[in-house]
Structures are given as structure tokens and as C-alpha cells.
Structure 1
Amino acid sequence: MNFWKDGLRLLCVRLDNLGDVLMTTPAFRALKTTWPAAHLTLLTSSAGAAIAKFIPEIDQVISFDVPWVAGQQQQPDQVIDLGNRLRSHQFDAAIVFTVQSQNPLPAAMLCYLAGIPRVLGYCRENPYQLMTDWVPDPEILVATRHEVIRQLELVREIGCHTTNRSLSLTRSIADQQRVRQQLTTAGLDLQRPWLVLHPGVSEEKRRYPAEQFVQALLPLMQDSGYQVVLTGSKSEQSLTSQIQHQLTGRAVDLAGQLSLGELAALLAEAPLLIANNTGPVHMAAALGTPVVVLYAKTNPQHTPWQVPSRVLYFDVPMALRSKNKLLQQFPEPAEPTASLETIVRAVHDLMAQWQPIA
């Protein structure tokens, strides 16, 4: 008799960032579509947990920043406590979702110590007892599939499918109303062309230079009348303030002023987002908002999913390149490259059919 069936208590392990969680939502939907009575608990980072409450396929969230993901620090006893906590949930099975460059074995060991009897995941080498349902990872040196496809094909191994492959993200009417009020109060005219710029990113190597954003935005504002709204976290306020100053104070700076739900509402409202390869790009994709993404040459599988977009590539500075040889592989030629001209052209192309919302 097949173990994998409806009604299971499943632990979905996705330990990295907000955007990674969003790119896994079609796989979550495949699980729920195939098995409506399954209970999905998401084990994720604090950043992933923040977006999880806007993902309807997830029933429960456990937040923990594991020490084998960059930038996180935990004591051994805290990891042991997490294993005991997971054991108390008595999960029937776990699915370990990882990007091509990640090692799934620490997460698989956590599931093993938690007494979870069945574990599905990709792995390059034979994980033996750590992963009962091992799928040999076909992406050895470089990612060859989009992240969404990678995770959909993983759950297909246990018979789960969906015809709806869009990213999943909900937003509230209350957040939408608050955002519209903020924009109106700031003097933004929603009947004129406008766009959102999100210049920050969690990793410095993926950050496009602020001054080059400014050089592209100035002609868009001066020659084509674009209005610009800046977004970011509280820690990114100095960056957005610098950009606003260089734009002669004519941009609306909302960095540090929006909840995640309000950011989703803003992106749903916006005609266009310009950003680095970062979480809000995937939020915009989930909401159907066109994107111009300044894409550092790392993780080629994370481009905007199923939304009008322009991907403009730039090199990671040598000093910031990952020591992970897998992340140093990038398909070439990576074109078009990012520049003032390509950014301006991308904005005009994507905004050509824009009509103001009544």
C-alpha cells in the first residue's frame, strides 16, 4: 500500500528566504490539490514565516533560523530543542525543499532526530536512512530548472500535481485602503505613470549600485514624468534616503513605514516594480505586477515567475563572490546586461500598455 496519501500531517521544510518560500507555493498547492485533507506545517526562517501567513495553502508555521543557513547563529541546545519540538507534533512525513546549491542533509538529520518516519527530498549522494524517499538531484553543477519547476517536480515524485502553477500570495482590503491613503497623502497621482523602486537586498553581492538606479530614474522622471515610490525595511532607510536626496527629493520614500501586508498591497497596486533579485520581486510576480529586475549572476533559477518582466544582468564583484563553487557557475551569455539605457528601455517596454485604474 502506498504510504503517501491524503490526510497526512506533513512537515514542509523551507529554511531560506521569503522569495524561496514564495517560489515553493505552487508545490504547496500541488500537495493540497491532490490531498485536500493533508495538514501542512511549514518549518522556515523568520523571514519565511513573515510571508507564510499570506499563503493560504499553509496550515501552521514553525519559525527557526537554522545555523546552516547564511547569517544565522544558534546554540546546539536550541537546535536540539527544535528537534524535540518537532517530535511532539508527531508528523507522518517531511518534505525537504532546497535550492540546487544547498545541502539537504542537515535538515534531513533534524527530521531523523525528530522521529519523522518518511522524508522526501533531493540529494546528490545517497542519504541512506536520513531520507527514505530520496530523489537523486539531477542539477549537479548548475541549476537547469526554474526554482518553481524544481519543487513541483519533487512533489510529483509522490503523486502530487496542480494545473495552477502561479505563486500564491493573498492581500487584504484593509491593507489596500491604507496604502492608497498613504500614497494620496504623499501627493502621488495614481492617474499618472508611477513605479516602485526597491533598491535593497539581503546579500550585498546582489545589490545593484544605488547611484546607477538614480542615473536611470532621473531621465524617466524628467523626460517621461514618472513618479517614484521607494520601499525597503527600516534598516534600509539610509539607502532609500540617499536615493531620494539624489532624485532631488521628488520620490515618495516609504521605507520602514509598511508592514509586509501593506507592501504586498502596494506592489499589487503598482504598475511596475524595479528591484534587485530579492523577495519583493517574487511578491510582485505572485500579484501579477510587471518587474524589471537587476540580476546579479548568482542563482540563475530565481527569475520572475509567470509575469511580464525584463531581467538585466550584472557581475558579482570579485571580492563578494561565493566560496561555493556551485554558485560560481552561471549560464553565459547572460544578456541583456544592466545599464542606464537597458533599464530605461525595459521600463518603457513594460509600461507601454499601462492604463490608470479608475
Structure 2
Amino acid sequence: MNLHAARYIDRWAGVAAHLALRAVGRVAGRRLPPLGATTPPSVGRTWARPRRVLAIKFYGLGNIVMILPTLAALRTAVPEVEIDFLTLPGNEELLAQSGLVTRVLTVEVATFPRFVRAGARLIRRLRAGGYDTVLDFEQFLKVSGIFGFLSGAPELIGFDTEGQHRGWLYTTRVVSTDSVHTRDLFLRLAVPLGALPGPAPAWRLPVADADRARVRALLPGDGAVRPLVVIHPGTGESYNRVALKRWEIERFAAVADALVERHGALVAFTGNGEVERELIAEATRRMRHPALDSCDRLAVGELAALLAEASLVLTGDTSVMHLAGAVGTPVVALLGPTPPALYGPSGPRDLVFYKDLYCSPCLSNYNFKMSTCTDPVCMRSIGTDEVLAAIEARYFAGGAQARRVGV
């Protein structure tokens, strides 16, 4: 299915579907607040302790990484809770590896007819799931609220994002705000269920020993002990087919070459799919020194293991940026269309480059992450020399010691 077309369908048809389901729910006696009402905590109101929770987030492996601390906080508050997670195919491995979910459910979106058939089967499964609570982590899509409502759960908590008309089916409407990091925003959904408010708790993604062993076998075995630098040059395209969040590939190649020459680094490129495979091929063609191309060679667990072994990870605003933070590896993040205050890494040794131009950010939950920009000057404004100088000062200068691997 064309996901850009799907967003348009969701944007407009979703409004009608929400209104229709709301009318059905009111007739059936479902507890729903007035159409435009907020749902602040009221004196004496308590939420039932959840037993079976359905969490929903379809798009974005990186977003799911940012949701995992919220699931950990919910498990701390309610240790006996069972959490199922509804997402798209491809996200199952990360969720299973987290150890925080009981079951992972997916819905096929390859074509619209297949989505309709899969959606009908999913609704039957959701209704049989016995959920008492749904946490809808989507911030602009409306189809997630439809699935949540049709699950039959008596409590449906989700983001009432301004201007998106997506809160009409929720029993508890949580304000989506740009005043906190997205990781902390996700936690707000679990606060009514007993999670402590405030910043999301620190949480590390467990990495399996078997995945570490497979990654070490993949690295060149020349016996040298040197810093491992992982570079992920790819990013998703925007809706007008311009890769707005992508730094120019020749700049990645230049930084990689310099780190090999000056610090003996082992450079490993990561990626997935044809576009990123071509990007990495171009980067290695431009480089004077050899680098490891791991594109399409790593499952999610192995990718996490590679990131955990690395001295640092150089990337744009991608799922790899969030995965690296989740395994505790320093991140050098290059951001432009999305602000670091909402999406950037926050580790003590991370580096973030963001020019804060007057046209940025242009990708947000208010425009369905669909910018019409065709000239990502925000990314071109980040210079090769400044990135290299900052990396050397932070990780290699003076007494700084980058993590090293023996390969």
C-alpha cells in the first residue's frame, strides 16, 4: 500500500469513521466524554487497575524504542499486567527482545485489499482478547483509535492532538504537547494507570549473547584493537519523495575516511533495502579506505548488538539513532526537519547537530509528517569539518577514550 496515500485516506475518512463509531458507541451505552471535552483528572476518580492492556503503534521502529520505557514504567506500577502490542510487520523482533510485551499482533498493509481482510481478522482477534485498557500511542493516525474502539476495551487512552480530530473515541484524552521529548510524552498515556509522571525512566534494551557473537564473527578478524564507528546514512523519504532528513553521502564518506586515517577506526555501515544499499555502495566507492558493509545482513537483534559494540554511531534522525541510545552507545545525531528537543538523543556523551533555521522543523504531528520542502538546506548546513572536529574533541582528544573492539 502507498503509505502516503494511506495517510490522506486516514486523515479524511478517519474523521467520518470516528464520528460514526462514536454514535454507535453512545447508543450502545459506551462511556464517552462529550465531543469536544477535555478529560482532566477529577476529584475521587480512580482508574481500575489494568489486567490486559493493548498498546498500539504502527509506524516507526524508532518510535517504538521511545515507547519501551513507558511499558517498563507501567510494568513497575502494575507488575501483574499483561501487555499486547499491535504494530506493523517488521517490528515484532524488537518488541520480543524488549521482554516487556506478552504478545505482538500485526496487520498487513502491503495492499489495500489485504489490509481490509487482515483488519477484519484482527478485529475478531482483538474482541476475543479480553482487553480492559487500550493505550493508543499514535499521534495523528486515526485508524489506531478505530481498532482500539472495536477491541471492546472499556478504557481507551490516547492523544487528542490539536487539529487532528482523533480524540472522539477515547475515554481519557491526553494532550499531545511539543513541550517535552517524545519519549516523555509517551509516558503521559500510562500516568492514569499508575505510572509515575515526569521524565520517562532510564531503560536499556537487552542484547543477547548469541547476537553479540554473530556480530563479532562478522567483523574483520585481523586481531587489531581499534574503535568501531557505525554509520547509518539512510533515512526515510518525505511524502514528496525528497529525503529531507538525509545528510549528503559524500560527507559521511569524508568523516569515515578521516576517522580511519587519524584514529585507526573500523567503520561499519548499516542499512536496509535497495535505497540504503545504493547509498552505502556510493559511500564505499568514495572512500580511500575499506569499510564494512552490513546492509541487509543484520536482524534487529544483531543490529542492536553491533551498535552495543560500537565506540560511537553517526546517523540522522533514524531508528538506529534511538536503538543506539537504548543500548547505551554514544550517538552523533544530525537533525534538521525534526527538532532534537522532541526526537534527539539525550545520553551524557551524545553529540547533536541542529541549525534551528527559521523554516525548521517542517515535519511534525500537526502536518502528518508530510512536508512540502524540496530543499533541505537544514541538513546541508551541517558541515563535514564541524562534525569531524566535534567527534575528535568528544571521543578521541586528550584523555577521552572511545570504546574499542578487538577484531
| TM-score with structure 2 setting the length | 0.74
1:271 and 2:308 aligned: no
Cα-to-partner distance string for 1:155-178 (whole Å, 9 max, x where unaligned) = 113321389712441111111112
Summarize deviations over 1:266-314 as a string: whole Å, max 9, x none.
1111111011111111111011100111113225411113352111136
Aligned to 1:157, the other structure's residue is in SS state: helix
2:171 aligned with 1:132? yes
Aligned ranges for residues 144-293 of structure 1 at < 5 Å?
144-161=179-196, 165-185=201-221, 187=222, 189=224, 191-203=225-237, 204-235=243-274, 236-293=276-333
Equivalent residue in structure 1 for 2:390, among 332, 346, 353: 346
Who is 1:304 aligned against? 345
Question: Which residues of structure 2 form unaligned runs of 5+?
Answer: 1-44, 238-242, 373-377
What percent of counterpart residues are identical?
26
In structure 2, relative to structure 1, the CA distance for the partners of 1:224 and 1:305 (3 Å cut) is same
Are 1:289 and 1:307, in contact at CA under 8 Å, matched by a contact in 2?
no
Q: How does 1:89-100 map to 2 (within 5 A)?
A: 89-99=129-139
Describe the superposition over 1:76-118 as per-residue Cα deviations: whole angstroms up to 9, x where unpaired. 343233222211212111011134xx24x33112221222221
Count of residues in correspondence between the two structures: 339
Partner SS, residue 24 of structure 1: helix
Give the AA of the match of 2:136: V
Q: For residue 196 of structure 2, give the secondary structure of its aligned residue in structure 1.
A: coil
Asked if 2 retains the 8 angstrom alpha-carbon contact of 1:294 and 1:312, the reply is yes
Name the SS for the 2:91 alignment partner. helix
| Whole-angstrom CA distance in 2 between matches of 1:325 and 1:135 | 19
Judged with a 3 Å threshold, the aligned counterparts in structure 2 of structure 1 residues 311 and 177 are, in CA distance, closer, same or farther, namely: same
Change beyond 3 A, Cα 1:310–1:86: same
User: 8 Å contact 1:14–1:98 — kept in the other structure?
Assistant: yes
Equivalent AA in structure 2 for residue 157 of structure 1? P
> Which structure has the greater CA radius of gyration?
2
Report the equivalent of 2:125: 85
DSSP-derived class of the 1:165 partner: coil
Contact 2:204 2:328 (C-alpha < 8 Å) held by counterparts: no
* Alpha carbons of structure 1 residues 97 and 214: separation in structure 2 relative to 1, 3 Å: same
**Could you tell me how far apart the structure 1 residues matched to 2:313 and 2:381 are?**
18
Q: Is the 8 A contact 1:311 1:336 kept in 2?
A: no
Contact 1:65 1:73 in 2 (8 A): no
Assess, with a 3 A threshold, how the Cα gap between structure 1 residues 335 and 182 changes in structure 2: closer, same or farther: closer
Contact 1:195 1:272 in 2 (8 A): yes
> Could you say what the CA RMSD is over the residues aligned between the two structures, in angstroms?
3.2
Q: 1:303 to 1:74 in 2, by over 3 A?
A: farther
AA at the equivalent of 1:95 = L
Offset at residue 335 of structure 1 (A)? 11
Give CA-to-partner distance per residue, 1:199-248, whole Å, 9 cap, x none.
11233222211112112223332233332111112432222122112113
Q: SS of the residue aligned with 1:194?
A: strand
Q: Any gaps of 5 or more consecutive residues in structure 1? A: none
AA at the equivalent of 1:153: R
User: Aligned residue for 1:55?
Assistant: 98
- Give the 3 Å change call, closer, same or farther, for CA 64–167 of structure 1 in structure 2: farther
Structure 2: distance between partners of 1:131 and 1:145: 22
CA distance in 2, matches of 1:28, 1:244: 39
In structure 2, distance between residues paired with 1:238 and 1:335:
20
Whether the 8 Å contact between 1:188 and 1:227 is mirrored in structure 2 is no
1:181 Cα deviation (Å)? 1.9
1:108 is the counterpart of 2:141: no
Would the aligned equivalents of 2:160 and 2:174 in 1 still touch at CA under 8 Å?
yes
Residues 116-154 of structure 1, C-alpha deviation per residue, up to 9 Å, x if partnerless? Answer: 2210111046767611112233x2xxx221111101122
After TM superposition, the score normalised by the length of structure 1 is: 0.84
Contact 2:272 2:295 in 1 (8 A): yes
Go from structure 1 to structure 2 and tell me whether the alpha carbon gap of 1:122 and 1:164 turns closer, same or farther (over 3 Å shift): closer
Q: Which residue type is aligned with residue 269 of structure 2?
A: L
